Amino acid sequence: MRLSEFILRLCRFKPVGLRPIEEKKCVIIMAPHTGIRDFFLGFLMIRLLNLKMALIMKKELFVFPIAKAMKRVGMVPVDREHARNFVKFSVNLIKESDEIAYIICPEGTRKRVDKWKRGFYEIAMMAGVPIGLSHIDFRSRTLGVGAMFYPTGNYEADLAEIEKYYYGMQGTHKGGFNLEDREPYAHPEWLKK
């Protein structure tokens, strides 16, 4: 048993739907994201998948002595002052890589939001890569990656389909996820167990 899997079991989380991701490049969205624990659980899940990950974090977190280790596992420092160029920066990072799982939280913050930020979708469209739907659900105590979603260019219609995957899931903090109160919609059987 790998260390990541052992830690997840200690945290009482069951990895589900984890299978090799065939796409060499993709954007993986991770939701719900309502607390710092989500980051650590998500990190362990990505390690189980053995993906070459890129996770953007504010550069202020890259301090001695952990900065080198953070970069080694795929964390990329970004200057928040250049937020308006974030999509372009991300697209270039994906295009310049031979293999990359670009991780992003569509909510953009740990606070409750009613609408997700659009950046993850724009990044996937401009880079020409699919969007992997991953979850960390405190209600079912599961985490995993669902199907790959291939964006069509119709943001509103695509977002409505993407959000269905997350209906009824709960974040670290109950009430903190905008889709938590929705009736679960056509979740795969492995998620219902």
pLDDT digits (tens, 9 = 90+) for 138-173: 899 988 887 789 999 999 999 999 999 999 898 888
Q: With CA atoms as reference, report the closest residue to 136 among 19, 41, 7.
A: 41
Average pLDDT of the chain, as a whole number: 83
Q: With CA atoms as reference, report the closest residue to 29 among 112, 156, 142, 148.
A: 148
Query: How far is Cα 133 from Cα 140, in angstroms, rounded to an integer?
Result: 17
Residue 74 has pLDDT above 80, yes or no: no
Query: What is the layout of strands, in order, in the sheet containing 25-31?
Result: 14-16, 142-149, 131-137, 25-31, 100-104, 53-58, 75-78
Query: How far is Cα 79 from Cα 190, in angstroms, rounded to an integer?
Result: 39
Query: In the prediction, which pLDDT does 64 show?
Result: 84
Enumerate residues 6+ apart whose C-beta is below 8 A from 46.
Answer: 28, 53, 101, 103
Residue 67 has pLDDT above 90, yes or no: no
Query: In the prediction, which pLDDT does 193 show?
Result: 38
